[in-house]
Structure 1
Amino acid sequence: MPLRPARCYRRLKRPYTRTEYIAGAPYVQIPRFELGNTKPRERARFDHVVELVTEEVGQIRANALEAARQMAYKYLSKYVTDPNFYLKISVYPFNVIRENKMLAMAGADRLQQGMRLSFGVPSGRAVRVLKPGTVIMHVEVEGKNLAHAKEALRRAAAKLPLPTRIVSFPKQSGQVKAEA
């Protein structure tokens, strides 16, 4: 069956995270959560941090997060090159999404089960954003590449189902700002 639109999974429902009790829980589709220059000593020269922050509560599917990661990384590696930035995804898709598959074509009324056994089967994973202001991903760059980092996160935000904003600030003494 085709992938359902993001509006089907955007709203928060009861969490479903205990994969040891879920038969056939899908794997996380995000291969890497840290990209670019991941060496802490070399990252000390980056003096600006740009963050992608959510404005609403909701869920982000893992494949949407992966699409956003790919978009940001592709842009940054093309215009800034790998040793000159650090990209990190700050959230993890713990929640397992269930889907009650229904047939929606002509003559399907004889094949459907309706609400019988409607709990659904695991079909994907999602990040639960419980507070507005949650950081989805952040990029560390030098000041000369600040505009490229903002553009990369703007392109990544287009792949996400929740409204977001981009926040940039100078990095303080080699430390990333603590979340409130």
Structure 2
Amino acid sequence: MVRAYSRKEYIRKTPNSRIVQYDMGSLTDEFPVAVSLSVKRPIRISHNALEAARIASNRLMMRKAGRFGYHLKIRTYPHNIVRINPMATGAGADRVQSGMRNAFGKAVSVEALCSKNQKVITIDINPKNFNDAKLALKRASMKLPVACKITVDKGAELIK
């Protein structure tokens, strides 16, 4: 895995993450079952992909379990800064561009560094909504650029 680039003092303007919320649903209730989505290999997940996965899973859980019938938590934070060295295109670009000389690049986005088997999203639910949570995590995994697996963290004996 590549070393994280999170030294914000060297970059003039750090891009903001598009993730709106990290905790959704009922933040105070205790739920007996916890289901998690974890990545199968080390990966960098962009803040846009995390936000898309959050929206997909939260929308389904809100529709199936109600507004306070679950607790969804994003477990990773995008802190790694992504830089790009924009190349000039068009006529005369070779006279303007200096190639890879001084190619530090501009900050364009942030991403979360995930290791193997790291949990990305966790949903706490009641046993009756277990299949809905699995479906929500499956939909969230389709938004991520890596193969994922769904695991039951807590309350496996309560599931029928």
Q: Which residue of 2 aligns with 1:63?
A: 48
Q: Which residue of 2 aligns with 1:3?
A: none
> In structure 1, what is the Cα distance between the partners aligned to 2:24 and 2:139?
17
Deviation at 1:170, TM superposition (A): 3.3
> In structure 2, what is the Cα distance between the partners aligned to 1:140 and 1:90?
13
Q: Which residue of 2 aligns with 1:159?
A: 143
Letter in 2 for 1:18: R
What does the per-residue CA deviation read over 1:100-159, in whole Å, with 9 as the maximum and x for residues that have no partner?
112456775555432122121100000011x31100010001111000000001000011
1:125 to 110, 128, 136: 110
Q: Which residue of 2 aligns with 1:115?
A: 100
Q: Which residue of 2 aligns with 1:48?
A: 33
> In structure 2, what is the Cα distance between the partners aligned to 1:79 and 1:111?
56
Deviation at 1:30, TM superposition (A): 1.0
**Cα 1:104–1:147, aligned 2, differ >3 Å: closer, same or farther?**
farther
> In structure 2, what is the Cα distance between the partners aligned to 1:79 and 1:103?
49
Q: Does 1:137 align with 2:126?
A: no
Aligned CA RMSD, in angstroms, stands at 1.9
Give the alignment's TM-score, normalised by structure 1: 0.79
Q: 1:167 is paired with a residue of what secondary structure?
A: strand
Give the alignment's TM-score, normalised by structure 2: 0.88
2:13 to 8, 24, 44: 24
Q: Which residue of 1 aligns with 2:76?
A: 91
Q: Which residue of 2 aligns with 1:7?
A: none
> In structure 1, what is the Cα distance between the partners aligned to 2:94 and 2:17?
34
**Cα 1:56–1:83, aligned 2, differ >3 Å: closer, same or farther?**
same
Deviation at 1:168, TM superposition (A): 1.6
Aligned residues: 156
Runs of 4+ in 1 over 4 A off after TM superposition: 103-111
Letter in 2 for 1:32: Q
Q: 1:83 is paired with a residue of what secondary structure?
A: coil
Q: Unaligned stretches of 5+ in structure 1?
A: 1-11, 173-180
> In structure 1, what is the Cα distance between the partners aligned to 2:89 and 2:113?
29
Q: 2:68 is paired with a residue of what secondary structure?
A: helix
Q: 2:50 is paired with a residue of what secondary structure?
A: helix
> In structure 1, what is the Cα distance between the partners aligned to 2:139 and 2:32?
22
